[in-house]
Structure 1
Amino acid sequence: MFNFNGELLEDNTSFLNEKNRGVQLGDAVFEELRVVNGDIIFLEDHYLRLMSSMRILRMEIPMKFTMEFMEEEILKLFSEIELKEAKQIKFTVFRNSGNDFSNSDNSISYFISSSLLASPFYILNEKPYEVELFKDFYKNSSMLSNLDTNNKIINVVGAIYAQENDYQDCLLLNERKQVIEALNGNLFVVKGNQIKTAPVTDGCINSILRKKLIDMVSKLNDFEFLEESISPFELQKADELFLVNNIEGIVSITRYRKKDFVNVTAKQLIGKLNAAARMSLSTSA
């Protein structure tokens, strides 16, 4: 079951046409969220990010698109029994086509899909997770690169490269050959008591979990947080590398170019991340 413009449709129902701009032009943005026990984790943050993305892309935002509307449309998907399960949500907004697929009046449509999550909590993935630099193509260090859009071709090709070479993930570079993120999330580099991540001006995805982790680390007395460009040469000198994404939580990188990494800091942060998620629910209640 999925939600298309407020109408619930069965899975595999055809609802897009050949002029759809999300398909033809990648003219779509999305937010990935978690629903646990009928509550949407970090709902306000996701809502504000979606509205910001739509404004940047000059999409027309309907008056009804309030945070309450977003919540209602997501929860409409689930029965009372299903609300007790942990769900992954993808809320996609695309610009409507005009008479020709290259023209539009900037009005939008949306669809919301869901899948089952393995855990209601953010977890620390401690399985072997080896990464390598992906150097075939670069992301541009522009504001568009900060958005989650349908244009994920670099991630697609990078994932194929990772699979062909037995890596679990790849690290992406911008045009200045700075490390900005992984295919599967924002990158954090730990060296001594410093924790660093790339600034959004370098072209990384400005995800909600990135924001939450920055807020958390910045308040810890044991660490110094840096939002600075990351050179590829720093990676092998680091004590720890980990990723964050909105669905899994924290993923520890265990190996990069024959160096093995610990996950001490990641273990410290995963509990704090779950506490922040619970706090967001009590604040919105």
Structure 2
Amino acid sequence: MINHNGEILDIDAVPFRADFRPTMYGDALFETIKYNGVKLINWEDHYFRAMASMRILRMEIPMEWSPEYLEEQVMETLRAAHLEANAARIRITLYRNGEGKYTPATTAEMGYFIMAEALPDADFELNKDGLSIDIYKDHEVPKSMLSNLKTTNSLLYSLAGIFARDNELDDVLLVNADKHVVEATASNVFMFANGKLITPPLETGALRGVMRKHILRNAKEWELEIEEKGFSPFDLQRADEVFLTNSITGIQWVANYRKKTYGNTMTKEIVDKLNASV
């Protein structure tokens, strides 16, 4: 089932035009949110990130799109899918539609889709087997404010994912023009080095991730020394631990980067603190 502008439909019944702007021009953004069977985790962070992204993209925010309205639309979608008592992955896509080519008509209207699918765990579970990763070098992440946004312009991440699959890797890290590590295909990246937790700053082109923000916000309470600082692939060779974060999986630890192997002692502690904080 899918919620299209407040109407619950079978996914095969969703009306699409051939000139649908999100399809033609990728004129949309989205949020992926975890529902733990009781509440939407970090809902306010997701909502305000989406609204800030809409402003940057010069999208008109409908007056009725309050946090309460969109949250209720999510719950309606969960109920329609019989998932209101289960853990679920939510995707909200906010799009601009209307006439025009690259430049939308001044009468362009906003719309949304909400989809839900079941997840196996309400809590964030650390992956049993660590990830095997490498660097993706074919294309670079632009050092731009647009790179901080979660838009449907995802070709770079699709190509990186194909590279990872073809090379039998679990994920890859993307770099920018400075050859600094930026992020993974669907996650922000953190590394432990010399007793400090380090993550690339937004200026590198990293996504403004909600789970990234949650960890930064709670670092002091969790007694973590943390720094937003650019680092190179070579720096990964000297790290003690590396992990990836996003709103659905929470935290996933990395076991191998090329010939380098990592542990997960500190990462396990952070996962426990994460679950206690949400």
- What TM-score range do you get, normalising by the shorter chain? over 0.9
- 1:270–1:128 CA distance, 2 compared to 1 (3 A): closer
Q: Distance in 2 between matches of 1:45 and 1:52?
A: 11
Q: Distance in 2 between matches of 1:207 and 1:236?
A: 24
1:266-277 to structure 2, matched below 5 A, reads: 266-277=267-278
- 1:204–1:5 CA distance, 2 compared to 1 (3 A): same
1:121-200 to structure 2, matched below 5 A, reads: 121-200=123-202
- 1:94–1:156 CA distance, 2 compared to 1 (3 A): same
CA RMSD in angstroms, aligned pairs only: 1.4
Alignment-derived partner of residue 48 in structure 1: 48
Partner of 1:62, secondary structure, is: coil
Give CA-to-partner distance per residue, 1:72-106, whole Å, 9 cap, x none: 11001133952111110000011012155742334
Give CA-to-partner distance per residue, 1:87-129, whole Å, 9 cap, x none: 1000001101215574233421100011111101111113241
- Conservation of the 8 A alpha-carbon contact between 1:61 and 1:107: no
Q: How many Å apart are 1:262 and its aligned residue?
A: 0.2
Partner of 1:87, secondary structure, is: strand
Partner of 2:112, secondary structure, is: strand
Alignment-derived partner of residue 7 in structure 2: 7
Q: Distance in 2 between matches of 1:214 and 1:170?
A: 23
Q: How many residues align?
A: 276
Alignment-derived partner of residue 32 in structure 1: 32
- Conservation of the 8 A alpha-carbon contact between 2:83 and 2:118: no
Matching residue's letter, 1:83: E
Question: Are 2:258 and 1:257 aligned?
Answer: yes
Q: Distance in 1 between matches of 2:123 and 2:48?
A: 23
Partner of 2:73, secondary structure, is: helix
Q: Distance in 1 between matches of 2:219 and 2:100?
A: 50
Q: Distance in 2 between matches of 1:143 and 1:10?
A: 36
- Give 5+ residue unaligned stretches, structure 1: 278-285
- Conservation of the 8 A alpha-carbon contact between 2:222 and 2:273: no
Tell me the percent identity: 36
Q: Distance in 1 between matches of 2:60 and 2:203?
A: 26
Give CA-to-partner distance per residue, 1:149-190, whole Å, 9 cap, x none: 001101101111111111100000011111011113000010
TM-score by length of 2: 0.95
- Conservation of the 8 A alpha-carbon contact between 2:3 and 2:114: yes
Q: Distance in 2 between matches of 1:20 and 1:123?
A: 38
Matching residue's letter, 1:53: S
Alignment-derived partner of residue 71 in structure 2: 71
Matching residue's letter, 1:234: D
- Conservation of the 8 A alpha-carbon contact between 1:89 and 1:112: yes
Partner of 2:140, secondary structure, is: strand
Q: Distance in 2 between matches of 1:89 and 1:249?
A: 14
Question: Are 2:234 and 1:228 aligned?
Answer: no
- Conservation of the 8 A alpha-carbon contact between 1:4 and 1:111: yes
Matching residue's letter, 1:212: H
- Conservation of the 8 A alpha-carbon contact between 1:61 and 1:108: yes
- Conservation of the 8 A alpha-carbon contact between 1:250 and 1:270: yes
Alignment-derived partner of residue 58 in structure 2: 58
Give CA-to-partner distance per residue, 1:21-54, whole Å, 9 cap, x none: 1111111000111122242111111110110010
Alignment-derived partner of residue 16 in structure 1: 16
- Conservation of the 8 A alpha-carbon contact between 1:36 and 1:83: no
TM-score by length of 1: 0.93
Q: How many Å apart are 1:214 and its aligned residue?
A: 1.1
Q: Distance in 2 between matches of 1:257 and 1:36?
A: 35
Q: How many Å apart are 1:270 and its aligned residue?
A: 0.6
Q: Distance in 2 between matches of 1:229 and 1:78?
A: 39
Alignment-derived partner of residue 218 in structure 2: 216
Matching residue's letter, 2:200: A
Query: In terms of mean alpha carbon deviation, does 73-82 or 193-202 score higher?
Result: 73-82
1:56-135 to structure 2, matched below 5 A, reads: 56-79=56-79, 82-98=83-99, 100=101, 102-105=103-106, 106-135=108-137
Q: Which runs of 4+ in 1 moved over 3 A?
A: 99-102, 218-221
